[in-house]
């Protein structure tokens, strides 16, 4: 059996039966999942401590879970308690990390935006700006294939442009969007209308680790979009009248993007901090975390 693709419930049952390799695979999966959620909701910097605490609590409490059907709900509840204690979903920001090479995500988006169609640029700026009415975003997307599919396509176009024009080394950049992932940009933008929708989407993420990786590696760019990284470009495009009927008309306003990174920022905090019991180490992409001690050791025993 390929443990990387085995159902989480199967890994759990095999671990409880004494299979250390299944325990290791399960620990990797849950830590990757936790990281994808915290970087989307809280960002790398703010999310590091809640992530650490959630990993420790997962380690300490996993033996209390005896039914595989209860595992995902329990693990998600542990993380959400930490996210709420950290203040909940942030409004965005400009957080450099190892994937950006210490460069500002907002500046990289600006650099890549020249590769976007004007309508895609304006739609992305509007979709990730929670201050704009959702009805406006839906209207703007109507002639581009409808909402939220048009936003998913525009997001992929931006990711491709970041790879090609700004040399961002993403690992998940498909040639065409996966239509099953249409809710993805809604989740990143904080546009899901009910908490139950976000919860359901996050639990579904655990069944698709490529989706987790996509969300994790795009996280700093989603935060930058939410903080207004494309606002000036979108306003200029609207003023020029290019593709006005297909895009969002945004009034220009100053972009106040909080930054937690120095100009010469190196790897993210998650890449540098040593954590007892659940030591977080950075994998090859500098994004996904593995539980290199404590939690992983616990599972293997």
Q: Which of 39, 42, 97, 87 is nearest to 219 (CA)?
A: 39
Q: Using CA atoms, how far apart are residues 232 and 235, in angstroms rounded to an integer?
A: 5
Cross-strand partners of 259 = 94
- Average pLDDT over every residue of 39-68: 95
Answer for the pair 155, 184: CB distance below 8 angstroms, yes or no.
yes
Answer for the pair 26, 11: CB distance below 8 angstroms, yes or no.
yes
Total count of residues recorded for the chain: 301
Show the CA angle centred on residue 88, arms to residues 185 and 74, nearest 5°. Answer: 90
Q: Using CA atoms, how far apart are residues 22 and 47, in angstroms rounded to an integer?
A: 27
CA 32 to chain centroid: 11
Tens digit of each residue's pLDDT (9 = 90 or more) over 204-256? 999 999 999 999 999 999 999 999 999 999 888 877 754 444 444 343 333 33
Helices 68-85 and 8-16 pack at an angle, to 10 degrees, of 110
Tens digit of each residue's pLDDT (9 = 90 or more) over 74-133? 999 999 999 999 999 999 999 999 999 999 999 999 999 999 999 999 999 999 998 899
Q: 43 in helix, strand or coil?
A: helix
């Amino acid at each position: 059996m390929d443990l990387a693709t085995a159902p989480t419930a199967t890994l759990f049952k095999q671990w409880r039966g004494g299979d250390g390799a299944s325990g290791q695979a399960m620990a990797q999966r849950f830590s990757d999942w936790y990281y994808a959620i915290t970087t989307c909701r809280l960002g790398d910097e703010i999310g590091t401590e809640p992530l650490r605490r959630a990993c420790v609590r997962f380690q300490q409490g996993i033996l209390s879970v005896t039914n595989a059907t209860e595992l995902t709900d329990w693990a998600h509840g542990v993380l959400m308690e930490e996210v709420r204690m950290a203040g909940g979903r942030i409004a965005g920001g400009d957080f450099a990390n190892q994937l950006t090479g210490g460069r500002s995500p907002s500046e990289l988006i600006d650099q890549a935006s020249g590769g976007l169609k004007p309508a895609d640029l304006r739609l992305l700026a509007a979709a990730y700006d929670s201050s704009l009415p959702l009805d406006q975003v839906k209207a703007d997307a109507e002639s581009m294939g409808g909402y939220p599919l048009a936003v998913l396509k525009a997001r992929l176009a931006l990711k491709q442009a970041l790879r090609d024009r700004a040399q961002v080394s993403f690992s998940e950049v498909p040639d065409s969007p996966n239509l099953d992932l249409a809710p993805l940009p809604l989740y990143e933008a904080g546009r899901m209308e009910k908490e139950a929708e976000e919860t359901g989407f996050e639990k579904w993420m655990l069944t698709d680790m490529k989706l987790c990786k996509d969300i994790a590696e795009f996280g700093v760019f989603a935060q930058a979009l939410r903080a207004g990284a494309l606002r000036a470009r979108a306003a200029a495009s609207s003023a020029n009248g290019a593709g006005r009927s297909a895009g969002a008309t945004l009034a220009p306003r100053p972009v106040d993007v909080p930054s937690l990174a120095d100009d010469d920022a190196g790897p993210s905090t998650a890449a540098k901090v040593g954590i007892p019991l659940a030591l977080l180490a950075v994998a090859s992409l500098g994004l996904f975390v593995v539980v290199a001690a404590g939690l992983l050791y616990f599972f293997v025993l």
